[in-house]
A and B are shown apart, each in its own frame.
Chain A
């Protein structure tokens, strides 16, 4: 089988390519024209260079392809640039897929598509999706719209779609995650230090995506991709500080206090500026919730349907993440 991977040169994309090669697949990696090709791909991976933000004929990328893993997305930038890189790019990509014979699509989404305000107790695949997306940040808006676009194309063209929604993807060079709070100089502000984190180590996440590709029962399904929810903010931040040698003062802030301040700031902004008001994500109540809300995270569906277990436990994930820092 030959698999096309978009965003193949990204943090997750590279790991997906690696896992596909380990599993014996033939891989075509879609990477940006100026991107450098990882050395370990030489002779093993077919490279297709294109930038999905630019009008170009992408249909050749799908030539001879059996399935697609769509991992291309922006993770930073303004709302407009993230929308262009994630949503408009996806439209162009899928417009080309329409003109091919490929029917199988795995889309990499995110837990940010859920309505965190309505998540009670445990967040799972039955948690309602965000319905008021424009109060959220640029990344959430782009990922919600990207999933909407993918779902519409798949429905219109009868594709076999699987949506994967990872939590905080972490790994080597990407260990700082939003859920662990914010670092100001040497001070770590931990919002809800005992909150459980929906961690998805990049190695485990890639393994899960490939498992979904291989499982016929995954077709038509959406899965939350988390390794578990045993690791709490305090522990994760401690490991980060110790292993990166970026020690500092840990300042725990109760979740409800942080949310209260954010709600007060949001209300003040609304009173003075209406909808035009702009607040940093820590002071926008809905965005604060989506980063720090203390709920549990279930991976029951992905484990049962795909018969999947994360190959790396937390200790192995730490080893894989920080081994290059010794």
Chain B
């Protein structure tokens, strides 16, 4: 069987997650990678057994013709690299946020449409096993109608954290919202999945640690979607860390920590004696919690961590390329998400 060819541009920490996921696909071969650091490119090629490495993405594009280019560089370089790939008629998956400015995304979107190339933002939590499970509960009616979606992201960034390194500024500081801006795409596409296109939103940005280089370390948003409402809390000060997604339906509430898997608990409507049902609820919730904690520990030993959805996403993307099907996350959806991210950071939506 002829394998699909992929190439990686940027060999930092996130590239490793892409390469680990790709290693599980038997219809894909990573043929080349690229990094500005020759040592990092060579080390990555050595570690993952990849034949060619480059220090210039233009040289890579000139010499290798991959079926999909993975752009895993810091956000400020996404636009020029994606532009070059799309101009060469190549398919692209780009780390989030796909571009810093929404207007740049529009340029890429037009180019992708013109060249009939795929242009996909990495939205791996969309394919996280807990998210897929909750979506199943919605589609089979068990959860009822979605009323509200709550997302709580806690990423502690004390002094010494890479996010607040005064000597080597973290790449997220190039984004509006700083480190919060780095997480906004995840928040935006999850909201979009569960509450639909957004009509109204209000945001609250604040800074508790005054002398940190972060433009803000706390973020709140209240959102009115087509199907439901949404609430977002991001904190760089709260502990313990986690990415909590809570979907409140008319028949059930589902809650998952997307940094762990499959840490998923449910509270269902049960008819019967309230005191007894409360006991049943407690037992079921404890069982789900324990099962999730053990599975999460096991997965950490297995090196899966919070990138659970990555392999599923790659599987669907490469299958779409192979079968010449539409991309698994449509350009329209990516556009909606990019616009929502843009609105999160715009002053006119601030409370």
Contact A276 B40 (CB under 8 A): no
Contact B40 A87 (CB under 8 A): yes
Q: Specify the chain B residue showing the minimal Cβ separation from A78.
A: B13
Contact B39 A53 (CB under 8 A): no
**Chain A contacts for B12, CB-based, 8 A:** 80, 84
Contact A91 B166 (CB under 8 A): no
Contact A134 B302 (CB under 8 A): no
Contact B301 A269 (CB under 8 A): yes
Contact B38 A276 (CB under 8 A): no
CA distance A83 to B39 in the complex (A): 9
**Chain A contacts for B39, CB-based, 8 A:** 87-88, 90-91, 145, 148-149
Contact B167 A278 (CB under 8 A): no
Contact A278 B166 (CB under 8 A): no
Nearest-Cβ distance from residue A84 to partner chain B, whole angstroms: 8
A1-57 residues with Cβ-Cβ distance < 8 A to B are 32-35, 51, 53-54
What sequence of 0s and 1s flags, for each residue 311-326 of chain B, a beta carbon within 8 Å of any chain A beta carbon? 0000000000000000
**Chain A contacts for B304, CB-based, 8 A:** 276
Contact B167 A34 (CB under 8 A): yes
CA distance A50 to B144 in the complex (A): 58
A184 close to B (CB within 8 Å): no
Contact A277 B302 (CB under 8 A): yes
**Chain B contacts for A81, CB-based, 8 A:** 162
User: Beyond A78-B13, A80-B16, A276-B20, is A88–B40 a contact (Cβ under 8 Å)?
Assistant: yes
Contact B37 A91 (CB under 8 A): yes
User: Beyond A53-B167, A78-B13, is A88–B37 a contact (Cβ under 8 Å)?
Assistant: yes
CA distance A84 to B44 in the complex (A): 13
Contact B300 A278 (CB under 8 A): yes
B303 close to A (CB within 8 Å): yes
Nearest-Cβ distance from residue A321 to partner chain B, whole angstroms: 25
CA distance A307 to B240 in the complex (A): 54
CA distance A33 to B167 in the complex (A): 6
Nearest-Cβ distance from residue B224 to partner chain A, whole angstroms: 39
**Chain B contacts for A91, CB-based, 8 A:** 37-39
Contact A80 B301 (CB under 8 A): no
State the main secondary structure of chain A at its contact with B: helix
Interface size on A, residues (CB 8 A): 28
CA distance A145 to B167 in the complex (A): 23
CA distance A53 to B162 in the complex (A): 12
Nearest-Cβ distance from residue A317 to partner chain B, whole angstroms: 29
Contact B16 A33 (CB under 8 A): no
Contact A276 B303 (CB under 8 A): yes
CA distance A300 to B220 in the complex (A): 64
Q: Specify the chain A residue showing the minimal Cβ separation from B20.
A: A276
A279 close to B (CB within 8 Å): yes
Q: Specify the chain A residue showing the minimal Cβ separation from B304.
A: A276
Nearest-Cβ distance from residue B213 to partner chain A, whole angstroms: 10
**Chain B contacts for A32, CB-based, 8 A:** 167
What sequence of 0s and 1s flags, for each residue 78-105 of chain A, a beta carbon within 8 Å of any chain B beta carbon? 1011011001101100000000000000
B43 close to A (CB within 8 Å): yes
**Chain A contacts for B13, CB-based, 8 A:** 78, 80
**Chain A contacts for B40, CB-based, 8 A:** 83-84, 87-88
**Chain B contacts for A83, CB-based, 8 A:** 40, 43
User: Beyond A273-B302, A278-B301, A279-B301, is A34–B43 a contact (Cβ under 8 Å)?
Assistant: no
Contact A277 B303 (CB under 8 A): yes
Q: Specify the chain B residue showing the minimal Cβ separation from A90.
A: B39
B2 close to A (CB within 8 Å): no
CA distance A273 to B302 in the complex (A): 5
Contact B168 A54 (CB under 8 A): yes
CA distance A64 to B166 in the complex (A): 29
**Chain B contacts for A90, CB-based, 8 A:** 39
CA distance A252 to B16 in the complex (A): 38
Nearest-Cβ distance from residue B115 to partner chain A, whole angstroms: 32
Contact B302 A278 (CB under 8 A): yes
A114-134 residues with Cβ-Cβ distance < 8 A to B are 134
Contact A273 B167 (CB under 8 A): no
Contact A51 B167 (CB under 8 A): yes
From the candidates B46, B47, B302, name the one contacting A276 in the complex (CB within 8 A): B302
Q: Specify the chain B residue showing the minimal Cβ separation from A273.
A: B302
Q: Specify the chain A residue showing the minimal Cβ separation from B13.
A: A80
Most chain A beta-carbon neighbours within 10 Å: one of B13, B38, B168: B168
B278-314 residues with Cβ-Cβ distance < 8 A to A are 300-304
What sequence of 0s and 1s flags, for each residue 18-45 of chain B, a beta carbon within 8 Å of any chain A beta carbon? 0010000000000000000111100100
CA distance A277 to B167 in the complex (A): 33
Q: Specify the chain A residue showing the minimal Cβ separation from B305.
A: A278
B150-170 residues with Cβ-Cβ distance < 8 A to A are 162, 166-169
CA distance A141 to B43 in the complex (A): 9
CA distance A278 to B13 in the complex (A): 15
Q: Specify the chain B residue showing the minimal Cβ separation from A88.
A: B37
**Chain A contacts for B169, CB-based, 8 A:** 54
User: Beyond A54-B167, A80-B16, A145-B43, is A278–B303 a contact (Cβ under 8 Å)?
Assistant: yes
Q: Specify the chain A residue showing the minimal Cβ separation from B162.
A: A81
Contact A34 B303 (CB under 8 A): no
What sequence of 0s and 1s flags, for each residue 140-157 of chain A, a beta carbon within 8 Å of any chain B beta carbon? 010001001100000000
What sequence of 0s and 1s flags, for each residue 102-141 of chain B, a beta carbon within 8 Å of any chain A beta carbon? 0000000000000000000000000000000000000000
CA distance A83 to B12 in the complex (A): 10
A56-74 residues with Cβ-Cβ distance < 8 A to B are none
**Chain B contacts for A145, CB-based, 8 A:** 39, 43
Nearest-Cβ distance from residue B184 to partner chain A, whole angstroms: 23
A-B contact pairs, 20 of them (CB 8 A): A51-B167, A51-B168, A53-B167, A54-B169, A80-B12, A81-B162, A83-B43, A88-B40, A91-B37, A134-B47, A145-B39, A148-B39, A269-B301, A273-B303, A277-B302, A278-B300, A278-B301, A278-B302, A278-B303, A279-B301
Q: Which residues of B contact A (CB under 8 A)?
A: 12-13, 16, 20, 37-40, 43, 46-47, 162, 166-169, 300-304
Per CB-CB distance, the 7 closest pairs between chain A and chain B, nearest first, are A276-B303, A80-B13, A51-B167, A273-B302, A34-B166, A53-B168, A32-B167
Apart from A35-B167, A278-B301, what are 6 other A-B pairs with CB-CB below 8 Å? A54-B169, A83-B40, A87-B37, A87-B40, A88-B37, A91-B38
